[in-house]
Amino acid sequence: MTTKTALVTGASSGIGESTARKLQSLGFTVYGAARRTDRLQKLAAEGIRPLGMDVTDEQSMKDGVAKIIAETGRIDVLVNNAGYGSYGAIEDVPIDEGRRQFEVNVFGAMALVQLVVPHMREQKSGTIVNITSMGGKIYTPLGGWYHGTKFALEALSDCLRLELAPFGVDVVVIEPGGIATEWGGIAADHLDESSKGSAYKRQADAVAKSLRSEANANRNSPPSVISDAIGKAVTAGRPKTRYAVGFGAKPLIAAGNILSDRQFDALITRATGVPRD
């Protein structure tokens, strides 16, 4: 049997690193991609193929996909995991930073889709896994730019699923809840930077405290819950269209569906500790 090939972006830590290992354990030839290949050396030592790739650099992505095809002749799974959280009031975050948030979280993912889909269509098989977030279905204070990217990725994934169904290619959305990764600290750092001297400073301090909270960190799920879901999706004959997994994902998405906007506003404001006056 032909060994299947997978590309995982953002593989240097957290969900991406765990997913690369999971797919390798399932028998895939795995390429772990990241901007800094020095952070991929642990995976390389385990037989996962390191790939230098910047999802904001078109040539970097073209070269990476070309390398995979040259070496294996195929690509069966794309896991679009690379991304970060740029938090701050919509008024405060510079437009260039908002644009970069979309470049990394949305346009980079879709550029890779455009590069791998021709090969998947030719094979008449393949799975594209887009990592969105429960933040693609709900919203939090000062997370507008980040949530905007995840809402966009949800919609793009739905359209893509319809487009690729006739060619035997599956599109799966993974919606993580709270996961024990570097993400919260990075988002809090962005928030601190964007809110210096801001009218939103009190809100920002509360949200940053929530993002860094040890209590929240202790409740967060390990990255393996996400990689296990991805493993199930890419080996299923007919995968689900969405997998909401990790701390808080299912109940918060359900609350967003059930509650009115004002009720959810009150819930999420209390949960993040944002002052109401």
Residue 22 lies in a domain: yes
Residue 27 forms part of a structural domain:
yes
Whose tokens are 């601190």? That residue is 192
Give the torsion sign (CA, 24, 101, 266, 209): positive
What is the DSSP annotation of 170-196? Answer: EEEEEEE-BBSSSHHHHHHHHHHHHTT
Q: Does residue 146 carry a catalytic annotation?
A: yes
Average pLDDT over residues 261-272: 94
Q: For residue 277, name the pLDDT band (cuts at 50, 70, 90).
A: low
Summarised one tens digit per residue, pLDDT across range 6-34 is 999 999 999 999 999 999 999 999 999 99
Residue 99 lies in a domain: yes
Judge whether 167 lies within some domain: yes
Domain assignment present for residue 183? The answer is yes
Question: What pLDDT is attached to residue 187?
Answer: 85
Alpha carbon 154 to its chain centroid, in Å, reads: 11
Q: Which residue has the tokens 């650099």?
A: 57
156-213: per-residue pLDDT in tens?
999 999 999 999 999 999 999 999 888 888 888 888 888 898 999 999 999 999 888 8
Residues 47-97: pLDDT tens digits?
999 999 999 999 999 999 999 999 999 999 999 999 998 899 999 999 999
pLDDT of residue 238 exceeding 80, the answer is: yes
- Domain membership of residue 277 (yes or no) is no
Q: Is 14 left (phi over 0), alpha (psi -120 to 50) or beta?
A: left
Neighbours of 3 (CB within 10 A): 10
Nearest-angstrom CA–CA distance, 97 and 101: 6
The pLDDT value recorded for residue 237 is: 94
* Strand 77-80, strand 49-52: pairing: unpaired
Under DSSP, the state recorded for 88 is: S
Q: Is residue 170 included in any domain, yes or no?
A: yes
Give the per-residue pLDDT at 56: 96
CATH number at residue 232: 3.40.50.720
pLDDT of residue 55: 97
The residues facing 245 across adjacent strands are 176
Catalytic residue (one of 31, 87, 139, 146): 146
pLDDT value at residue 103: 97
Q: pTM score, two decimals?
A: 0.93
Average pLDDT, the chain: 94
Number of domains the chain contains = 1
Amino acid 96 reads D
Distance in angstroms (rounded) separating the CA atoms of residues 172 and 168: 13
Q: Which of 113-122, 238-247, 254-263, 265-274 has the lowest mean pLDDT?
A: 265-274
Residue keyed to tokens 């979309």 = 102
Report d(CA 58, CA 254) in Å as an integer: 37
What domain range is 245 assigned to? 5-272
Provide CB contacts within 8 A for 149, sequence distance 6+: 83, 101, 102, 105, 106
Question: Residue 7 pairs with which residues in a beta bridge?
Answer: 31, 78
